Amino acid sequence: MSQPTIESILQEKRSFSPPSEFSEKAQIKSLQEYQQLYEQAKADPQKFWADLAAQELDWFQKWDTVLDWQPPFAKWFVGGKINISYNCLDRHLTTWRRNKAALIWEGEPGDSRTLTYAQLHREVCQMANVLKQLGVQKGDCVGIYMPMIPEAAIAMLACARIGAPHTVVFGGFSAEALKDRLVDASAKLVITADGGWRKDAIVPLKDQVDLALANQGVPSIENVLVVERTKQTTQMEPGRDHWWHELQAGVSADCPAEPMDSEDMLFILYTSGTTGKPKGVVHTTAGYNLYSHMTLKWAFDLQDTDVYWCTADVGWITGHSYIVYGPLSNGATSVMYEGAPRPSNPGCSWDVVEKYGVNIFYTAPTAIRAFIKMGEQYPNARDLSSLRLLGTVGEPINPEAWMWYHKVIGGERCPIVDTWWQTETGGFMITPLPGAIPTKPGSATLPFPGIIADVVDLEGNPVSNNQGGYLVVRHPWPGMMRTVYGDPDRFRRTYWEHIPPQDGQYLYFAGDGARKDEDGYFWVMGRVDDVINVAGHRLGTMEIESALVSHPAVAEAAVVGRPDEVKGEDVFAFVTLEGSYSPSEELEKELKQHVVKEIGAIARPGQIRFTDGMPKTRSGKIMRRLLRNLAAGQEVAGDTSTLEDRGVLDKLRGGA
By the criterion CB under 6 A, which residues form the site for ligand WT7?
271, 317-318, 393-396, 418-423, 444, 510-512, 524, 526-527, 533, 538
CB 143 within 8 A of CB 191: yes
Minimum separation from the CB atom of position 322 to ligand WT7 (A): 9
> Which residues make beta-bridge pairs with 538?
533
CA distance 420 to 533: 14
Task: Kindly state the smallest distance separating residue 540's Cβ from ligand WT7, in Å.
Answer: 11
Shortest distance (Å) from residue 147 CB to ligand WT7: 20
Nearer to ligand WT7, 393 or 557 (CB): 393
Closest to ligand WT7 by CB, 369 or 538:
538
- 16 or 581, CB closer to ligand WT7? 16
Cα–Cα distances in angstroms (integers) from residue 577 to residues 15, 557, 610, in the given order: 52, 9, 7
Q: Give dist(CA 281, CA 235) in Å, integer.
A: 33
Smallest gap from residue 531 Cβ to ligand WT7 (A): 7
CB nearer ligand WT7, residue 292 or residue 349: 292
**Quick one: 28 or 444, whose CB is closer to ligand WT7?**
444
Contact 253, 125 (CB under 8 A): yes
CA 369 – CA 533 distance, rounded (Å): 15
Say if residues 435 and 303 touch (Cβ distance below 8 Å). no
Instruction: Detail the DSSP E strand segments found in 50-200.
Output: 65-70, 73-78, 81-82, 101-106, 112-116, 142-145, 166-168, 189-193, 196-198
| Nearer to ligand WT7 among residue 347 and residue 540 (C-beta) | 540
Torsion 315-321-323-324 (CA) sign: positive
Nearer to ligand WT7, 351 or 565 (CB): 565
**CB of 424 closer than 8 Å to CB of 307:** no
Do residues 534 and 567 make contact, with C-beta atoms less than 8 angstroms apart? yes
- N-term to C-term CA, the chain: 22
**Residues pairing with 620 in the sheet:** none
Q: Is 94 exposed, middle or buried (0-12, 13-18, 19+ CB in 10 A)?
A: exposed
Q: What is the dihedral of CA 93, 95, 99, 104, to 10 degrees?
A: -80
> Smaller CB distance to ligand WT7: residue 265 or 471?
471
Nearer CB in complex with ligand WT7: 22/509: 509
DSSP state of 67: E
Do 372 and 406 meet the contact criterion of CB atoms below 8 Å apart?
no
What's the rounded Cα separation, in Å, for the pair 337 and 321? 16
Q: Which is nearer to ligand WT7, 327 or 396 (CB)?
A: 396
Q: At residue 615, what are phi and psi to the nearest 5 degrees?
A: -70, 120
Cα within 13 Å of Cα(317), Cβ side: 28
